[in-house]
Structure 1
Amino acid sequence: MKKWKTLIISAAAAVMLMPLQVSAYSNPIAITDSWHWANNDFYGEGDPYILKFNGTYYLYVSTVDDQIGVKVWSSANLTDWTYRGLCTTEAVTKAAYAPEVVYWNGMFYMYTSPGGGGHYVLQSTSPTGPFTLATGNLGMGIDGNVYIDDDGKWYFYSTGSNTINARPMTSPTAFGAAVGTGLSMAGWTEGSTTFKRNGKYYMTYTGNHVWSTAYRVDYATSTSPTTGFAPAVSQNPVLIDTEGSNVGLGHNSMIKGPDLDSDFMVYHSHASGGNLIYPGRKMNLDRIVWNGDKMIVLGPTTASQQNPELADFEDRFNRASIGTGWSNIGGGTWGIYNQELMWQDTIGSTNTYRQVTGTSTAADYTAEFNTKQIKQGPTSNPVYGAVFSYTDENNYGAAVLNRSLNRLETNFVVGGVSQGWQYAALPSGCDYTKWHQIRVEKAGASFTVYVDGMKKQTRTISGLGGGKIGYTTTDAHADFGYTAFSNKVNGSSAWNAYKPLPGKIEAVHYMNGAEGTAYHDLTAENLGGAYRSGAVDIRSSAAEGKNVVGWNQTGEWLKYRVNVAETGYYDLDARLATTYTDASFRVWDGATDLTGIVGVQSSGDWESWTTASKKGIYLTAGYHELRFEFVKGEFDFSGMTFSRGDAVTSLLDDFNDGNDNGWTRFEGSWSVNSGELDSAGGGFGKTTIGNERWADYTVESDIKLVDSTGDAGMLVRVNNPSNGTVLVSNPDYIQGYYAFIKPDGVYLGKMNYNYTAVASSPATLAAGSWHHMKVTASGTTIKVYVNDMTTPKITYTDNSSNPFTHGKVGLRTMNNHTRFDNFRVNP
């Protein structure tokens, strides 16, 4: 019989926090009118793609294999969806995989690969259809994605041979030769999405197979839209969960939230029930935040999460008259049409007419405008578009479209003085009688203007703050659609967002607010000058590849919003750098000390980073504001991770009962023979046991290498294990550390759906003989002992930005017939 012993660990802190109240949603998101097979088995919302047009979101998903058509839903807030019916019934859309829709110049283009048998393009004048065929079968793999660059050039991305290919496009329906991006997930790779941020191209991509629990999302960056993409190795995978209620996460798209600033990753997960061969899929939505060029997914989540925040002001003109919320400047003839748009139709004069909101923005903001021209007058310069930062006719900014000259024009007036018109060409063939979007981002003195998602201008204008927004015309009859502003810009919505726990929090994502409310800093200004304005000192860290909080002094503090998934014990890992030997911190909730004083050891250099931990913090489910205090000394602060923590349970399995009950076998050929666990060899295999919430422990086992080739050993801190032979052949489907032996020595590797050798020690370990291995995992330090239980063969401290600090235990073999016995875990 197996022998079990439970060790009860007392909590370092047991404090009842009072949660705040926040409107919330949870994954997977409930959608009505889901796809079902003809026999009524559930198919769901696979490969979800969301388009935003004129203030409304439209959702498209893959079509069940035995039916025709593409379904569409609409939403104003990303969480409440209304079914709008079939947007196409073209016969070729049977099993329409991964439909994505792009709006351009008055037309909506749908790209889909029905049954994976090659791509078709369909088109419509409405996001709800009807879409009709625009091309025949174009091939090009599956999972097409379109990106339009700032210069108006189009690119099409789809699957190649275990990679993502890019194709330049000469029109929405014409595709050039494939260019290999080089991106691969060591097997089938699909479901890419490309976008641009701060001049850098990002691509998310998915693999290896949709029915593997290890379906997951990676991302890469490049300075080119087609080549040179480099995976974000230290951060990938950015989305994965192989165990629990929501697994098989992938095929994402990206969308801006209704606050105009936040970013969300939309993806699917395996659904329960459904066809026994095809388990079905459901849609999920998780927040993305940014720190420099680093993209951080706040997920995956299944617990209740803060709803996507709305804009601070929006108007859909869904009423009969303009009303008192807008003010007319200069005259003109204005009205509301069909409770869906505002118009101005006076032409034939060089007078400028405006409508501006009664509500003003903050100093920094993002604003969105949607407009089209109906007719232009006879004067030399008819224009129409947006006005912003409007105080009066002596202080405002304007971004207008000029049909005659095919360009964007901007001007700023400060103190009655024009700052001069500047111009940016728009793509040839631009149809100004169709809807176009103007987006303005103001950060400090910088104004960035986009047209239809293309970045067209950035201007530095001093002396102009926030103000009203609105629409403007000069000798043009124009329609004006959805308009909104949000007092957030460049990802600043992350600061007040509730970060899900368990999860990571960036140090620079402290709450927005004033000194003494959101933070306490003893300097008058940001000494490092990076990322945020205000007094908190922020610098860019080359070692971390992001922004960190520096120059922290005794008594300073930062406040963070968090969303605790479930009540229980959590472990805190804080990432720090310092040359001080007596620094310390603690974490508070209001007047309650959650952690006590936690000491920080010197990391040796301000660009050498280490982890300081505190275990057994009791948190209650819900929304909270935590305060991180710099108690003593000085250290730079990169971020903190909260993990669920459970007491380690002592475990002994000598396999004398003739089975390995309690273990989860993944690959390989495992059996229990003569009181030993046997792995037949000839490939790779792993088996795991224990609790993914375990942190520090010792694990040991007797190991016999039957063959002289290959290796075998123990796994520690195991997370997200999956079978690497399900529709793929990959030995690295696991996160954790692998300590193993070969006849020539002892080795330690880090596995993160790839393998990285981190340490080794030569030794003579004869095949056919028993060897005793012990591994201790404490904090971020792993020690490996073999035969000699006093002196470790390997001592390794993982100072990387993603150390594994919690996880199960297990056994693994690689091309070796191996026998294991007397497996033991102790706290």
Structure 2
Amino acid sequence: MSILKSKYLKALFGFIAPFAVGFHSSAQTTMAPNPIITNIYTADPSAHVWKDGRLYLYPSHDIDPPRGCDLMDQYHVYSTDDMVNWTDHGEILRASQVPWGRPEGGFMWAPDCAFKNGTYYYYFPHPTGAGDLWNSTWKIGVATSKKPASDFAVQGYIPGIESLIDPCIFIDDDSTAYFYQGGGGRCLGGKLKDNMMEIDGTMKPMAGLTDFHEGTWVHKRNGVYYLSYPDNTDPGGNQMRYATSNNPLGPWTSKGVYMEQTGCGTNHGSIVEYKGQWYAFYHNSILSGNGNLRSVCVDKLYYNEDGTIQMVKQTRENGTPYGGTPRKVPGVIEAEDYNDGGQGKGYSDSDPTNTQGKYRLNEGVDIESYSSGNYSIGNTSDGEFTNYTIEVITPGIYDIQCIVASGVTNGGGFHIEMDNRKVTGKLVVPNKGWSTWQTITAGSIPLTKGIHVFKFFTYGGMNVDKFKFVDAMHAYFQTPISIPGTFQAEHFDTGGEGVSYHDTEAANKTAAFRTTEGVDIETCSEGGYSISWMQPGEWLGYTINVAKTAKYDIITRAAADAGGSFHIEIDNTDVTGTLLVPGGGWQAWKNVTAASIDLQEGLHILKLATNGGMNLNAFTVSESFPLSVKGITDAPLSVFPNPSSDGKFHFQVPEPGDLIIADTSGKVIYHQKLSLKSPTVDLSQKTKGIYIASLTTKGNTYRCKLMSVN
């Protein structure tokens, strides 16, 4: 088993282990820390579980030093039986062994492997054209072996297909093999003949995919086919998206994003189940700081009950606090005081030396002095980052004021992550000169109390001085609103105009509540208070704490005289589109429902932005439940009035049974065996809000939602 030893990696770790390339003990963790492959640079991981019970990984290989993607070559195979210790089985194929390949070699891009009828089939893209003809002469080569990690011999290539890359092979439960390829925004699929070397019929476009880029992967779960791929999102490309179908060749229904960008300008992944746990494989460049020298990573992947994929949390080692103590928030953090741990942990820099020679001399981050005793980070480039362990003393919504400068023609840029999750898009640093410090603010970042890792990720050239964490906004009752739950519209966050709300007038015209702020609040016909005189462009912000990642229904209690409209944002992203408020009067309250909204566990800002005149009373956010679940039927359980203004609900049930009513947290508030088909249930003494009624009979279960506004 031969190993290519990277000079850069040797500088990082001091040695290269010959076989167990993870360097980790299973007694300490259930998975190797990311990146899992550290002896060479690898990308485009294709993961499979074979008959020997091991998980095998077939990645591409970024040769160091790189020349774009030109020099990718010399495929290796890795395997594990515990997700902790990874074995490098050595090189299995290189360009010089491809009889029909381009004479210059290289260009051995993302591969895949399949097993059928006792043979392993290894698929790889490689062009035949020399010089600049490579991009129009791609072939998908096939090598075979009786072993999963050695003795592969090239048999030829698949004839009659387009010049595209990124082969993917999926074998269905009936042993039918399907072949996919793509690139440049196109994704094609078709059946393979039994010889696994020819297409059975023709290749056809995969319909229904949103923003497809390249890197197809297909897997199956519970009878549903999943097609995943990176999209074209910039900057920092590429998010991982997925779509589902009841047919391996589509048409497909796009389901959204399951992984954010990894920061290296590309991504390419696979999804596989191993020993009862699903995993998402992908790559990033945190070890090298160079987008052409990538490293394979893996994280656990989870599904919701309805089969949708939860957002994958990218894990990595983030180093330890510089000086041993986390930086306090609110407060100021000096840019040069990034975490200890070195390349890929405390920071990522594209050059292994501190070219400016100041402060932390034995590390790769370029630190310079700009006045007596003051330092800043300089010479940043695309894909570099620094990590900072922080301790949030006061939870809330923060503005992070970044003191930066740039002298490059098109300016620089950055984004911010918290605990390896992006909390901003790209923020631009205009070109005003290297010595002209600017304050670029990343606003409305929710932070819970305790320890977090703040990551500053750069695009292009700039200098970085410090970061000021300013406590900008609090929940009205100091504690974030619990979701699922019900809350009043007048309990928007504190912070003032432009921070926690925007109102077109400075005065509270109706002055019934919170009289020193600009939001117009009046008494409500349903009790308490409501927001009034809402005009186009006005908005209200609420800090919420979501109990678990799931789909939720957001019910807004609103009224309008001649009809109004609004939308709801989560963390500044519109998640509902325009919602209409029926007319009928300023106190003619109606429920406006936004169904099945994806919410991630943790703190977020829910913002209601109005597009037209309306009044606003309350919100109820409850976990969605599917309308078509085996053994459950909603429609026959009829209830009126719903919503109920007096807390009394009249049921029309198809048959007697056991009626249970619970709140959105699952707490049972009513339980009664029904012998009548038209009972009345009195919830007038309960808190107004959303409840779920469940009627169980001899053969069925019926459910519906109740809303009490008494």
TM bucket normalised to smaller: 0.3 to 0.5
Using CA pairs under 8 Å that are at least 6 residues apart, name the structure with larger relative contact order, 1 or 2: 1
TM-score by length of 1: 0.37
